[in-house]
């Protein structure tokens, strides 16, 4: 069951400058940053709020590491802006199977690794009224940090 908005993915040309915009304008701080070479992104996660189901809501700021990546191609065509939305679920495998059974293209046979050790997959935007949609199961919290992961 999809239980929350996990994040909104925002494509940008310059991650550091975009992070600074969100800090200076709204007071948001970076919760986590990493490079995901498989996805071709350098990313910063800005945590907006916490929830009790093992996750929270984030903005995911994305700078491409290579022009032929999903975000690189999208930026070249559209410029900066909202790239995808992501729903949180405790069961990304089960939900992806259910949604595939409804005729929506799920892009990966098996979920892959996303931010902070999460497991992610994507639904094709052409089957979702133009919205690239990600499903996310957060990594279990590290021992001793029940509210963070
Ligand atoms: N939102 C809406 N539509 C999109 C889109 C997006 N983010 N990306 C591509 N499209 C549309 C294009 O506009 C194009 O439409 P038209 O044919 O009408 O012009 C169509 O989809 C095909 O686009 P494309 O530029 O030819 O790109 P590809 O088919 O090569 O790739 C997609 C599209 C969705 C398969 C690819 O972006 C993908 O695999 N995405 C999932 C992975 C990803 O986005 N990773 C980065 C984020 C990582 C993270 O969140 O952690
Ligand atoms: Co994402």
Is residue 146 one of the residues assigned to a domain? no
Is residue 148 one of the residues assigned to a domain? no
Give me the pLDDT at residue 129, please: 98
CATH of the domain at 99: 3.10.180.10
Bridge partners of 106? 123
Give me the pLDDT at residue 77, please: 98
Q: State yes or no: is 84 an active-site residue.
A: yes
Tell me the pairing of strands 133-137 and 41-50: unpaired
| Count of domains forming the chain | 1
Is residue 64 one of the residues assigned to a domain? yes
Is residue 145 one of the residues assigned to a domain? no
Q: State yes or no: is 34 an active-site residue.
A: no
- The CA distance from 17 to 3, in Å, is 32
What is the gyration radius of the CA atoms in the chain, in angstroms? 15
Catalytic residue among 37, 38, 84, 129: 84
Give me the pLDDT at residue 140, please: 85
Q: State yes or no: is 39 an active-site residue.
A: no
**What distances in angstroms separate CA 110 from CA 57, 58, 127, one per listed residue?**
23, 23, 19
Exposed (0-12), middle (13-18) or buried (19+): which is 3, by Cβ within 10 Å? Answer: middle
Element (H, E) at 11: strand 2-11
Of 42, 47, 52, 44, the residue nearest 90 (C-alpha): 52
Is residue 25 one of the residues assigned to a domain? yes
Catalytic residue among 39, 60, 63, 83: 60
Give me the pLDDT at residue 122, please: 98
Instruction: Give distance in angstroms: CA of 104 to centre of ligand 1.
Output: 15
Is residue 84 one of the residues assigned to a domain? yes
What is the mean pLDDT for each group of 10 consecutive residues in the chain (149 residues)?
94 98 94 97 90 74 98 98 97 98 98 96 98 95 64
Of 108, 132, 131, the residue nearest 121 (C-alpha): 108
Residue 130 beta carbon below 6 angstroms from any ligand 1 atom: yes
Instruction: Give distance in angstroms: CA of 1 to centre of ligand 1.
Output: 24
Is residue 129 one of the residues assigned to a domain? yes
Give me the pLDDT at residue 149, please: 44
Backbone angles phi, psi at 124, to 5 degrees: -65, 130
Instruction: Give distance in angstroms: CA of 138 to centre of ligand 2.
Output: 12
Domain that includes residue 45, residue range: 2-137
């Amino acid at each position: 069951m999809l239980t929350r908005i996990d994040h909104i993915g925002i494509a940008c040309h310059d991650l550091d400058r975009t992070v600074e915009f969100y800090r200076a304008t709204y007071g948001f701080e970076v919760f986590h940053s990493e490079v995901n070479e498989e996805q071709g992104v350098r990313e910063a996660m800005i945590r907006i709020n916490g929830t009790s189901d093992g996750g929270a809501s984030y903005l995911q700021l994305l700078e491409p590491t290579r022009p032929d990546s999903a975000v690189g191609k999208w930026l070249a065509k559209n410029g900066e802006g909202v790239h995808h939305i992501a729903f949180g679920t405790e069961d990304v495998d089960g939900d992806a199977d259910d949604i595939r059974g409804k005729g929506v293209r799920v892009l990966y046979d098996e979920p892959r690794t996303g931010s902070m050790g999460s497991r992610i997959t994507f639904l094709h935007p052409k089957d979702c009224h133009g919205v690239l949609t990600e499903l996310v199961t957060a990594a279990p919290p590290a021992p001793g940090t029940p509210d963070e992961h």
